[in-house]
């Protein structure tokens, strides 16, 4: 079977760059598309000389004509610091970006995967979160540009599937971490590691008892690829995340311990609509994709800390 030509939007971002790298190793031809708002050429510079890798500077808010077999639509700032910086642009990226990529997929008859998010569940009233839960989302808060943008993108994907028989895949990504995270993205893993390595106080919002689940990026990439390879009759949505659940305080203490830092923990008010609990039910991913994350938190943190040491 001939190798596939695959478009990865947001391909120079944290997750996108790892996905491009993995797909190249599988012998695929990769078009990496990014506008470099949060992505970085540094994330893919080691791929630049690969004969099957092409980097395209482009914003998914604008249409583009390409010939591809598969599309992974990852383009969108994913951390509150970045997506709240220009909230209207964030909503446009989610909604117009989805429309443009769906239009492209329809024209060339490509399979298209949408990187949705656990944020579609909002501040959940059920725990853990299953795919049949509709969520508890504030439609006009500070996080709404991202939460509702991603919810609308899911709507568009399923409407294209129903109306045009487009082969779609929808995954909901829970907290993911690893090398190439943006050091100033404001997310808890990168925040804690950078603060610990530079001797700053570790900033915990709220009382630190709110929980998160942390999936190492290599595990997530395998889930994305396994979802893309499913038959056309399986669309998702599917949760992809590590069901291991930790309080923010547990994470802070683990980072301090693993970096041998003298940082102290300080507490600040919880931001608006910040979820109290977040843990995926991955029963569908396990059953349909035969997927289970294998990297334990300590192992993943070790690799991530080593990466951030090179950034300082």
Q: Which of 86, 81, 115, 110 is nearest to 98 (CA)?
A: 115
Q: Tell me the two tokens of residue 36.
A: 């470099």
To the query of whether residue 146 is one of the catalytic residues in this protein, the response is yes
For residue 209, the tally of other CB atoms under 10 A from its CB is 12
DSSP annotation of 139: T
pLDDT for the residue 211: 92
Q: Tell me the two tokens of residue 7.
A: 């478009």
Q: Model's pTM, two decimal places? A: 0.95
pLDDT for the residue 274: 76
What does the pLDDT look like over 66-118, one tens digit per residue? 999 999 999 998 877 777 889 999 999 999 999 999 999 999 999 999 999 99
Pair type for strands 29-34 and 5-9? parallel
pLDDT for the residue 6: 98
Residue spans of the chain under pLDDT 70: 1
pLDDT for the residue 1: 57
Q: Which of 91, 250, 266, 251 is nearest to 187 (CA)?
A: 251
Of 72, 121, 146, 160, the catalytic one is: 146
pLDDT for the residue 164: 98
pLDDT for the residue 184: 83
Q: Tell me the two tokens of residue 188.
A: 């808890």
What does the pLDDT look like over 39-63, one tens digit per residue? 999 999 999 999 999 999 999 999 9
> How far is C-alpha 188 from the geometric centre of its chain's CA atoms?
14
Distance CA 188, CA 247 (A): 11
- Taking phi over 0 as left and psi of -120 to 50 as alpha, with beta for the rest, 258 belongs to alpha
Domains of the chain: 5-176+216-242+278-293 (3.40.50.720)
């Amino acid at each position: 079977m001939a190798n596939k030509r695959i478009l990865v939007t947001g391909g120079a971002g944290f997750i996108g760059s790892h996905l491009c790298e993995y797909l190249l190793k599988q012998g695929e031809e990769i078009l990496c598309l990014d506008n470099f708002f949060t992505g970085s050429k540094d994330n893919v510079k080691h791929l630049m000389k690969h004969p099957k890798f092409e980097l395209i500077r482009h914003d998914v808010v604008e249409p583009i004509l390409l010939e591809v077999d598969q599309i992974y639509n990852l383009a969108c700032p994913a951390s509150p610091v970045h997506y709240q910086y220009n909230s209207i642009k964030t909503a446009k990226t989610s909604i117009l970006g989805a429309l443009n990529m769906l239009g492209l997929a329809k024209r060339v008859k490509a399979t298209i995967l949408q990187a949705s998010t656990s944020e579609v569940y909002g501040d959940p009233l059920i725990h853990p979160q299953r795919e049949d839960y509709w969520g508890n989302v504030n439609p006009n808060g500070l996080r709404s540009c991202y939460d509702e943008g991603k919810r609308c993108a899911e709507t568009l994907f399923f409407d294209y599937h129903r109306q045009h028989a487009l082969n779609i895949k929808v995954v909901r990504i829970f907290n993911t971490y690893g090398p190439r995270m943006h050091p100033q993205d404001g997310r808890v893993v990168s925040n804690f590691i950078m603060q610990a390595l530079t001797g700053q106080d570790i900033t915990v919002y709220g009382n630190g008892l709110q929980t998160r689940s942390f999936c190492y990026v290599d595990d997530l990439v395998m889930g994305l690829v396994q979802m893309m390879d499913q038959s056309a009759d399986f669309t998702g949505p599917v949760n992809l995340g590590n069901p291991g659940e930790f309080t923010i305080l547990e994470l802070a203490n683990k980072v301090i311990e693993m970096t041998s830092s003298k940082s102290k923990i300080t507490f600040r008010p919880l931001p608006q609509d910040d979820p109290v609990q977040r843990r995926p039910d991955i029963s569908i991913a396990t059953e349909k994709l035969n997927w289970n994350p294998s990297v334990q938190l300590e192992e993943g943190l070790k690799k991530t800390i080593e990466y951030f040491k090179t950034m300082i």
